[in-house]
Amino acid sequence: MQADQLLVLVAGGDQRAFEDLYGLVSGPVFGLVRRVVRDPAQSEEVAQEVLLELWRSAPKFDPGRGSALSWILTLAHRRAVDRVRSARAAGEREQREALRAGEPAFDQVAETVEAGLEREWVRRCLDRLTALQRQSVTLAYYDGYTYREVAERLKLPLGTVKTRMRDGLSRLRDCLGGVA
């Protein structure tokens, strides 16, 4: 069964459907959180919270507003970004150490086959963007920086960063195709 159908069942309180949904989305959720948060223990904690929130707020899912996967990964990304920002706010230095400690572990995480193929595609398509488009998109999405922070890091005006983000995403869409 597809995530969209499962999510409808989960919204009705079906715990078995949630188990199936867990099988489908726990890998993407955990991988995304881990990519953004980096620290292994914190990633596990955030991923668990996201999956529990998925159960709790499934009745709020509106299929008219997008796919289930998109909704779930958007939720996961939001929580991961919130965590990495509060960690940064708590202490830049500590965070840098966590990043260093987290990185080798991240590389050792086995990727799923589909993710491997998809990763190749995404990498290929990211390569087709201009350097500024690519950096604007990845600093925000994979590293959790706000567009103001991205502008600061790339020494660009705010308006330019917003445009680069928009152009970068549309070029990605052209390259990857519209279907997720």
Partner 1 sequence: MSLMGRLLHREDLHSLAAPYALDALEPGERRRFEKHLKDCGRCAEEVRALTEDAVRLAWSTAAPPPVAMRDRVLAAVRATPQEPAPGRERVPNLPPHVWGVQPPPQRRRPRPLFVPFATATAAAALVVASLFAVQADRTRNQLDAERAQSREIAHVLAAPDARAVGAEDAQGRSIGAVASASEGQVVVTLSGYGALPKGRVHQLWLMRPRAQPRSLGLFEADTPLVATGLVKSATSLAVTVEPAGGSAQPTSQPVVQLALKSVGFGE
Task: Tell me the closest approach of the beta carbon of residue 94 to partner 1, in angstroms.
Answer: 10
Is residue 100 close enough to count as binding partner 1 by CB under 8 A?
no
Is residue 55 close enough to count as binding partner 1 by CB under 8 A?
yes
Is residue 68 close enough to count as binding partner 1 by CB under 8 A?
no
Is residue 110 close enough to count as binding partner 1 by CB under 8 A?
yes
Token pair 């087709």 in the structure block, residue: 128
Report the C-alpha gap between 27 and 52 in whole angstroms. 15
Is residue 156 close enough to count as binding partner 1 by CB under 8 A?
no
Nearest to 147 by CA among 163, 171, 131: 163
Question: In the structure encoding, which two tokens stand for residue 58, read together?
Answer: 């499934």
Is residue 1 close enough to count as binding partner 1 by CB under 8 A?
no
Report the C-alpha gap between 92 and 90 in whole angstroms. 7
Is residue 51 close enough to count as binding partner 1 by CB under 8 A?
yes
Question: For the chain, what is the radius of gyration of the CA atoms?
Answer: 17
Is residue 105 close enough to count as binding partner 1 by CB under 8 A?
no
Task: Tell me the closest approach of the beta carbon of residue 55 to partner 1, in angstroms.
Answer: 5
Is residue 47 close enough to count as binding partner 1 by CB under 8 A?
yes
Torsion of CA 170, 173, 179, 180, to 10 degrees: -100
Is residue 169 close enough to count as binding partner 1 by CB under 8 A?
yes
Question: Between vectors from CA 63 to CA 58 and to CA 141, what angle results, nearest 5°?
Answer: 80
Binds partner 1 (CB under 8 A): choice among 63, 91, 152, 180 = 180
Task: Tell me the closest approach of the beta carbon of residue 87 to partner 1, in angstroms.
Answer: 11
